[in-house]
A and B are shown apart, each in its own frame.
Chain A
């Protein structure tokens, strides 16, 4: 039983990273109606930027990470303003621009920061605590804590504030929202900025485990996609819940079934689930008009 909880805690930790990235995906999908395929790559690039802040500017970690997030917000806003907002581009082409961004930032990262792997220290390096037999690193608790605080803050903003109403109105119908006086352009730009910052945070959290490399975000990126599919792209909370489910299920399958086949098995299960419920766990069917 202790092992079970050990795996669950580990799953919640990785699930946190998936949840942050998935939240970013859904924010952009809801407001701009496109899938941002470059989410993971941008996170990777921003983790490099953060590492640069720490190594070259000799900044403290707790200064460097927020600074990197500010940088990534600016990057997201710039991408939205210069690449996404032209009216003549179709949504399919916008998605392909995000694919091109993957290539650009995967090319830029080794060019600017060197091709070597860089290690990245944990926020808290204290050794594991013993909670009734379950060993938990303080750093893991911090990761889970930060994620829950950010999620809670986002939900409060989305549900309780005027800004949240603007975001939800844009998500429901951008045309009508604009007629109601909502600055749709600013909302999508804000969504891009927030999403890129969330991706940066997820990358910084995974960096101590995998080092800072070009491929560091691949798993998180993929799992955040799967989480968004499983939870349903049409809600804000579905993907976040699904992210934790995937994180925990992956760990449990790996421990009880086979570590090699855990991920393929999980994807197969999710695929079956999608066949039965095409809009995800919490999704609603959206009807498009011609």
Chain B
């Protein structure tokens, strides 16, 4: 029983579940593609969860950070022939640096300034993606190859497994982070900034840390995207993607490590299910609508998020049992 409760093993188990489509024979490749979408959004969502769930800050520009890393990695590996891992590090450092500068300005101010600063910044970046076609390929997009690590050329499934491994490692890292003093400071900050400040929490520092972490995760997700789908074009990195990242954190469960994963599965799984249905699958905009309604429903009636449903059910059952025991006594 203790083994089941061990968080690291749980995350490993999640990883094994995700790896199944790539390992089992006879699985249609479309399933691997859908799962890959889940994995890269889950990686970005993990970062958003640190920012939104733990420190209560909204960012509307993380899609642009993802795009920046994706284009950088594609450019560095294809045009400059850098090895994949080096390109990955450089591609992730770029949003980190920009995130630190942008965050240092916006985070000093009230909460919503970060949302507005990232909204504006995201819009500028998206326009640059279209304009700078020597770097991004403009509207036609940039191409990239499956990664090659230490001489080993990954296949489609290999790239997917690499992403899954990355997700598992990141989940463990986030778990450690939120159970450290940094994580506790962030949680204190979310419930009351002034109170946290009075307790000696340096608000500016922790807000900036959480923003930096989320930028790095968005960058990693972008790199995963471009090397799995082997292309990136400006229609991907829109504000709708940034909104989706927030939505999946809310739906899955804010301030939980697994919430982003559950949210990503729901967000990409639901449209696939709907597409299979006869009439509803034909109407455009249905997935967006459903995610929106789901998000409102969660925010209004069950802000803990889908991931906490089992815990809530257990709690209810426990309460009922206690009441029954009391009546007997």
Q: How far is the CA of A228 from the CA of B109 in the complex (A)?
A: 14
Across-interface contacts of A289 in B (CB, < 8 A)? 194
Across-interface contacts of B103 in A (CB, < 8 A)? none
Is the CB of A160 closer than 8 A to any CB of chain B?
no
Segment touching A, from B25-33, B65-73, B110-118, B173-181: B110-118
Query: In the complex, are the beta carbons of B286 and A107 less than 8 A apart?
Result: yes
- Partner pick for A103 among B123, B243, B299, CB 8 A cutoff: B243
Q: How far is the CA of A263 from the CA of B127 in the complex (A)?
A: 10
Report if A93-B119 is in contact (Cβ < 8 Å); known contacts: A106-B288, A111-B284. no
Q: How far is the CA of A266 from the CA of B120 in the complex (A)?
A: 11
Across-interface contacts of B194 in A (CB, < 8 A)? 288-290
Across-interface contacts of B121 in A (CB, < 8 A)? 267
**Chain B 235-259 interface 0/1 with A at a Cβ cutoff of 8 Å (1 = within):** 0000110010011001000000000
Is the CB of B87 closer than 8 A to any CB of chain A?
no
- Partner pick for A290 among B192, B284, B293, CB 8 A cutoff: B192
Is the CB of A110 closer than 8 A to any CB of chain B?
yes
Query: In the complex, are the beta carbons of B296 and A108 less than 8 A apart?
Result: no
Is the CB of B131 closer than 8 A to any CB of chain A?
yes
A window 91-144: CB within 8 A of B: 92-93, 95-97, 99-104, 106-111, 115
Across-interface contacts of B198 in A (CB, < 8 A)? 290
Q: How far is the CA of A102 from the CA of B116 in the complex (A)?
A: 15
Query: In the complex, are the beta carbons of B116 and A226 less than 8 A apart?
Result: yes
B200 to chain A: closest CB distance in Å?
14
Is the CB of B292 closer than 8 A to any CB of chain A?
yes
Q: Whose C-beta in chain B lies nearest to the C-beta of A104?
A: B292
Q: How far is the CA of A93 from the CA of B52 in the complex (A)?
A: 11
Report if A100-B247 is in contact (Cβ < 8 Å); known contacts: A107-B285, A107-B289. yes
B222 to chain A: closest CB distance in Å?
21
Report if A267-B124 is in contact (Cβ < 8 Å); known contacts: A100-B299, A111-B284. yes
Q: How far is the CA of A21 from the CA of B237 in the complex (A)?
A: 25
A121 to chain B: closest CB distance in Å?
26
Is the CB of B189 closer than 8 A to any CB of chain A?
no
Is the CB of A181 closer than 8 A to any CB of chain B?
no
Range of interface residues on A (Cβ < 8 Å): 35 or more
Q: How far is the CA of A225 from the CA of B120 in the complex (A)?
A: 9
Is the CB of B295 closer than 8 A to any CB of chain A?
yes
B108 to chain A: closest CB distance in Å?
7
Across-interface contacts of A228 in B (CB, < 8 A)? 116
Is the CB of A35 closer than 8 A to any CB of chain B?
yes
Report if A108-B116 is in contact (Cβ < 8 Å); known contacts: A100-B247, A289-B194, A290-B192. no
Q: How far is the CA of A35 from the CA of B60 in the complex (A)?
A: 13
Across-interface contacts of B296 in A (CB, < 8 A)? 83, 97, 100-101, 104
Q: How far is the CA of A229 from the CA of B127 in the complex (A)?
A: 22
Is the CB of B300 closer than 8 A to any CB of chain A?
yes
- Partner pick for B124 among A35, A96, A100, A264, CB 8 A cutoff: A264
B30 to chain A: closest CB distance in Å?
24
The tally of residues in B whose CB lies under 8 Å from a CB in A reads 46
Is the CB of A151 closer than 8 A to any CB of chain B?
no
Query: In the complex, are the beta carbons of A96 and B289 less than 8 A apart?
Result: no
Report if A96-B295 is in contact (Cβ < 8 Å); known contacts: A102-B243, A260-B131. yes
**Chain A 67-108 interface 0/1 with B at a Cβ cutoff of 8 Å (1 = within):** 000000000000000010010010011011101111110111
Q: How far is the CA of A215 from the CA of B153 in the complex (A)?
A: 41
Is the CB of B138 closer than 8 A to any CB of chain A?
no
Report if A278-B109 is in contact (Cβ < 8 Å); known contacts: A93-B299, A103-B247, A267-B120. yes
Query: In the complex, are the beta carbons of B283 and A96 less than 8 A apart?
Result: no
Query: In the complex, are the beta carbons of A274 and B292 less than 8 A apart?
Result: no
Q: How far is the CA of A73 from the CA of B294 in the complex (A)?
A: 25
B window 121-153: CB within 8 A of A: 121, 123-124, 127-128, 131
Report if A89-B300 is in contact (Cβ < 8 Å); known contacts: A111-B286, A225-B119. yes
Query: In the complex, are the beta carbons of B109 and A274 less than 8 A apart?
Result: yes
Is the CB of B63 closer than 8 A to any CB of chain A?
no
Is the CB of A236 closer than 8 A to any CB of chain B?
no
Report if A106-B115 is in contact (Cβ < 8 Å); known contacts: A99-B247, A290-B198. no
Q: How far is the CA of A149 from the CA of B220 in the complex (A)?
A: 51
Query: In the complex, are the beta carbons of A89 and B295 less than 8 A apart?
Result: no
Query: In the complex, are the beta carbons of A222 and B285 less than 8 A apart?
Result: no
Query: In the complex, are the beta carbons of A278 and B247 less than 8 A apart?
Result: no
- Partner pick for B295 among A35, A103, A111, A225, CB 8 A cutoff: A103
Q: How far is the CA of A222 from the CA of B131 in the complex (A)?
A: 19
Query: In the complex, are the beta carbons of A111 and B289 less than 8 A apart?
Result: yes
Interface residues of B (CB under 8 A from A): 56, 58, 60, 105, 108-109, 111-113, 115-117, 119-121, 123-124, 127-128, 131, 192-195, 198, 239-240, 243, 246-247, 250, 283-289, 291-293, 295-296, 299-300, 303
User: Could you give 29 example pairs across A and B, Cβ below 8 Å?
Assistant: A37-B115, A89-B299, A89-B300, A92-B58, A95-B115, A96-B246, A96-B295, A96-B299, A97-B295, A99-B295, A100-B247, A100-B295, A101-B296, A102-B243, A103-B243, A104-B288, A104-B289, A106-B285, A107-B285, A107-B286, A108-B285, A109-B285, A110-B284, A222-B120, A263-B127, A264-B128, A274-B109, A278-B109, A290-B194
5 closest A-B pairs by beta carbon, nearest first, are: A103-B292, A107-B289, A107-B288, A104-B292, A107-B285
